A and B are shown apart, each in its own frame.
Chain A
Amino acid sequence: MFFNEIKNRINTLGDFVLFVFNVFYETLSLKFRFSLFLQYMNLIGAQSLSIIIFTGFFTGAVFGLQIGSVFMVFRAEGLMGGATGIALATELAPLITGFLLAGRVGSATTAEIATMVVNEQVEAIEAMGVSPIHYLVTPRVFASAIVMPLLCGVFMFIGVIGSYMAGIYIYSIDEGVFFENLVYLAQSKDIIVGLRKMFFFSFIISLLSCFFGLKASGGAKGVGLATTDSVVKILIYILISDFVISYIEVH
């Protein structure tokens, strides 16, 4: 039983490595599907924008609210802008954007591809002489790699606005002090750190969601299992890779 489980996991890992190789090999060897790429950019980017703005604003506001109360003890409320900026740029924005997109884009991608698999649609694509990886996966992976870091950037910007509102209207911080500390403490390298993390997370989200979708079997139950499995694994791997990337950055 235990050895079978290990064997299955090694097999899945092997399948995933082969899948990733095929995604990049077919990107280089076959004609890029630009119209699908644009379609997925719209689906992943434009249609996720409102939830990113909403979450970004409240995350920044709540973070400002909490950290402001601590800074008030030391009469250092003015540092709120800088602290929020660094936290949002390096950690909060990529992590929460990653989680949101895992739920919104990752689950939808797995469910869609898994439904196509159990309804023989993926086999039909293959039977018509078209590579399912090149048609279904490659445009999603590259659209994600471009759009997801942009969404993360939007999250950072809106998060700072949320924090600014909390600082100005709740703690009555001087506007000039807020921005002075923000610009002084939070630097462009912090933004790059966050965007780089999100770029990496975008591959985790797109590759894993497509992989679990293509591996689905067994009707409606199989679609449900694949979707749950996909979202849980994406969240776990985002957290693990976040730690690894942060560790590398720090050292």
Chain B
Amino acid sequence: MIYFKNVSKIFGKKKVLDGLNLHIPKGQITLILGKSGEGKSVTIKHIMGLMQPSSGQVIVDGKDVGLMSNSELRNMRSNFGMLFQHAALFDSMTVLENIMFPLKEHFHFSLPEMLDRVEDVLNQVGLQGIEDKLPGILSTGEKKRVGLARALVTNPKVLLYDEPTTGMDPLVCEMIDNLILKVSKLNPDLTSIVISHDMKAALALADKIVMIYNGKVALAGTPGEFKTSKNPIIRQFFSGKVQGPMEFL
């Protein structure tokens, strides 16, 4: 479904991705792990075509994202949903307007149809009665859930989560993790890509885990393979110890 072929990304003098090869299977939850600044968010921005690789290819549904025209990119993105790290809700719009935004842009639904769809996705994320509120007065957890509702409202084929639980208390983290699983079960064809550095979530959520280190894939496999891996990078990341082969800058 999504392939990275020898992808490198250089910012100034820093090589963030260094010949990354990656396969993200259809209809599964793939979790991309790595320490901060390792290029996880850069990786998903390449999938969306929000960034272009310095070299290599990103292939989505058989097409090279780097060779797509602006209109092809827009069409591709209309099949994607993305939950941003800080939800990225439009603060001048109400919750309802935020969630309806992609519907208005890409579909020709009537207003009652759109309202039904909004109600449906708000139910999926466990929020009701907040349609008229502005994002500024919502809690961080509520913002994330509204962001997820907005990402889900168009029935996307691919859903990308950029560090959905970063900076949250354990209860909200678990709630978001459960939501990711619930959404995935409710939409069996949905391909989910989750960026995280939370090992516990990785083992609980993922069908496939990819660990990125030094711009390359250190290990890609199932949660079981990660648990039993002898790779010192993986072991250090699991244990959370500073001492080890993994460099901290």
Contacts and interface: CB of A to CB of B under 8 A. Distances in A.
A123 B74 contact: no
Interface stretch (A3-11, A124-132, A157-165, A229-237): A124-132
Nearest to B73: A129
Given A123-B50, A123-B84, A128 B102 contact: yes
Contacts of B105: 128-130
A129 B74 contact: yes
A24 to B, nearest CB: 14
B88 A123 contact: yes
A160 B106 CA distance: 50
A42 interface: no
B70 interface: yes
A128 B153 CA distance: 11
A128 B50 CA distance: 11
Contact of B78 (A123, A124, A128, A131): A128
Interface residues of A, number: 12
A120 B150 CA distance: 15
A128 B88 CA distance: 12
Specify which of A119, A126, A129 lies most central, judged by the most chain B CB atoms within 10 Å of its CB. A129
Given A121-B90, A124-B90, 16 more contacts: A116-B90, A120-B84, A120-B85, A120-B88, A121-B91, A123-B50, A123-B88, A124-B82, A124-B89, A127-B48, A127-B80, A128-B82, A128-B101, A129-B80, A129-B105, A130-B74
A121 B88 contact: yes
Interface residues of B, number: 22
Nearest to B77: A129
Contact of A127 (B77, B85, B90): B77
Interface of A: 116, 119-121, 123-124, 126-131
Contacts of B88: 119-121, 123-124
Interface SS of B by simple majority: mixed
B82 A129 contact: no
Interface string B69-102: 0100111111010101110111100000000011
26 contacts: A116-B90, A119-B88, A119-B91, A120-B84, A121-B90, A121-B91, A123-B88, A124-B84, A124-B88, A127-B48, A127-B50, A127-B80, A127-B82, A128-B77, A128-B78, A128-B82, A128-B101, A128-B105, A129-B76, A129-B77, A129-B78, A129-B105, A129-B106, A130-B105, A131-B70, A131-B74
A239 B74 CA distance: 39
A129 B85 contact: no
Contacts of A127: 48, 50, 77, 80, 82, 84
Contacts of B75: 129
Contact of B86 (A119, A126, A129): A119
A20 to B, nearest CB: 16
B14 to A, nearest CB: 16
Nearest to B90: A121
Contacts of B82: 124, 127-128
A127 B73 CA distance: 9
Contacts of A120: 84-86, 88
A126 B74 CA distance: 8
